[in-house]
Amino acid sequence: MLLAIKVIAPTLLVAGVLSGIGAPAFPDAVARAGALPSGRLLASGPFLFYATLYADQRLQSPAHASAAWLASDVPGVGVRLLWLYRGRAPLGPVDERYTPLGATGCVGAGFSALQPGERGGRDGGGLFVPAGVRSGRRAGFALVLDTPRGFYGVVIRYTLWVRARVAPAN
C-alpha cells in the first residue's frame, strides 16, 4: 500500500486572509533543493510564512527511518513550514507550535521575545498523517504562532490517496 498526495494551496490561519507574494522576499526559503511546486510565501501581520511539501528520499516509513526526523507516513515526502518576523520592535513572548491537523499533540518552541528579522519554524522532516485519515480525504499540517498580538500561522492542506503497489512485469 502506498500513500500519494495532491497539494491544496497553503493558506493563512488568521482571519481567513490569503495573500501571496510574487517576489521571493524570504531569503533562502524558496530555492531549497527538493521543493515541490506547492511552496508559497504568505504574509500575515508582522510575519512572512513559507509552506511547502518537499521530496527527500531519506524520508522513510517510521519502521524503517534511521532517525526520528526522517520518519514519514508518506515515504519520500516531507513538510517545511517557516516563519520570518518582519516587525520593527521586539515581540514576545511567542509560542510556536506545529502539528498535523487532527492530531492531539504538537511540537514547538518558546521565545521570550522575537527580534526583527528573527526566523523559525519546522525546517524539514517527515509528513505525518493522523490515525483515521482515509484515502480521498483532506489532511493538513499547521504552524501556529501565539503572540501578544494574537495568533498567526499557516496550514498546508493536501488530499491523500492509497494506491496499491503494482508488481513489475517479468
Domains of the chain, each with CATH number or no CATH = 2-22+34-163 (2.60.40)
Q: Tell me the average pLDDT across 102-114.
A: 84
Q: Is the separation of the CB atoms in 131 and 170 below 8 Å?
A: no
What is the rounded average pLDDT for all residues in the chain?
73
Tell me the pTM.
0.73
- What totals of helices (H) and strands (E) does the chain contain, helices first? 0, 9
In the block, residue with C-alpha cell 533562502:
28
Residue-level pLDDT at 163: 58
Q: Is the separation of the CB atoms in 45 and 19 below 8 Å?
A: no
**Is residue 38 pLDDT above 70, yes or no?**
no
Backbone angles phi, psi at 68, to 5 degrees: -60, -40
| Rounded distance between C-alpha atoms, residue 95 and residue 34, angstroms | 29
Element (H, E) at 10: strand 2-12
Backbone angles phi, psi at 82, to 5 degrees: -120, 155
- The predicted-structure confidence for 125-157, as pLDDT tens digits, reads as follows 888 877 777 777 777 888 889 999 999 988 888
Q: Tell me the average pLDDT across 49-59.
A: 84
